[in-house]
Structure 1
Amino acid sequence: MAAASSNKSFCFYENYLAKKDGIINNDEYYHHLFDHFTGKIHEDNIENCTGKDKRLNRTDLLADLVQGMVKNMEHVEDATPFELVFKAYHTGTLEDVIAQHDILDGKYVRYIRQLLATQALLDRRADVLHFCLGRGDFDYEYNFTYEADLVTVDEHPKTFAVLERSEFRELHPRSDPPWVAFDVGGDFPVDW
């Protein structure tokens, strides 16, 4: 469990570290993350707050996605509805997630659905991923496609099945990760 809440406002990477280190919990993580949708700028970290913090691509794919979205979407007055969708994701059922999703303002729903699909893919949560892919109307970023290609039928059969039966897979056929070419049976096998 997370330690006591902090009153500090965290920017993207600091938010990731605070969550990883147990300084903040899931709800606080999403609050700090989605607060950027209101136009929040951390003056003490302005370059990584308003630019492209490349550390996120390797550490926190959700924050990386939010950072890109902030530049393309109209700011919201209150990010609480986004937070409530993710609260339902972590504590409720699929029906709770759908209920929170469906009350969002239409001009923001595709963004939250893309974030929700990404989180569900990372967590291998097939029910939410199926819902998001079924509703569609969001972009599939490179990181999403790459992560989807890492899902295997042996380790996560439900998530694998959702991906393989989706329109996403029609648009982005499965490709093996680069290292497969060097494994036994690959195009360039290496005797490790």
Structure 2
Amino acid sequence: MRVILWLSLAISLFAQQEDTNPQFQELLKIRRLYVEKLAGGDTAVQIRDILIGALQASRLFTVTENPDKADCSLKGSAEDLVFTDTFQSSEGIQARSQIGSMRSSGSNRGGAGFSVGEQESSRIAERKHEATLAVRLVNKDGDVIWSTTQESLGAKFRGASADVAAKVTRQLADDFARARKLNPASAPAPVSAATSRH
């Protein structure tokens, strides 16, 4: 009985601590979001565009191209690396048998030999992509209110860049939903399709 009491007390304290998390309250204040240029290689520009599309489709915020009108900025870095994954294996089996006989006075000689061998080797080289996206939401005061780092080797029906942008958007949507659940009074309504194009 004491264990149940302590467990329920710990759960309620954890719930209260999460409820008073100022980052969740700041997350719910975002209405307009500006996505800054991402640091990284040439692929960072493409990943930024894919991320903007994913954020726009989520309808959590109005995505704006004007940083002055934004409540919050999304900053970070992105990279989509191409590499070759190589698998090489080699197997072999050998069998040998020798029989011999020799006599010296009568000069009898004999001999036999048998040898079998098989060798098999394979080499598979596959070109792959690995995308990495590390982003953070920064409010007008310069405070980081949310951050995540996601990686992807690609999904079944989309490339690594699109998959990593979807993972970031899904993580943000999940955290936004959790914040909305903890603070239902301050939760904004989702952005409608008509207002998200401005």
TM-score, structure 1 length as denominator?
Answer: 0.22
Structure with the higher fraction of residues in strand conformation: 2
Task: Specify which structure has the bigger relative contact order, considering alpha-carbon pairs within 8 angstroms and separated by 6 or more residues.
Answer: 2
Larger CA Rg, structure 1 vs 2: 2
Structure with the higher fraction of residues in helix conformation: 1
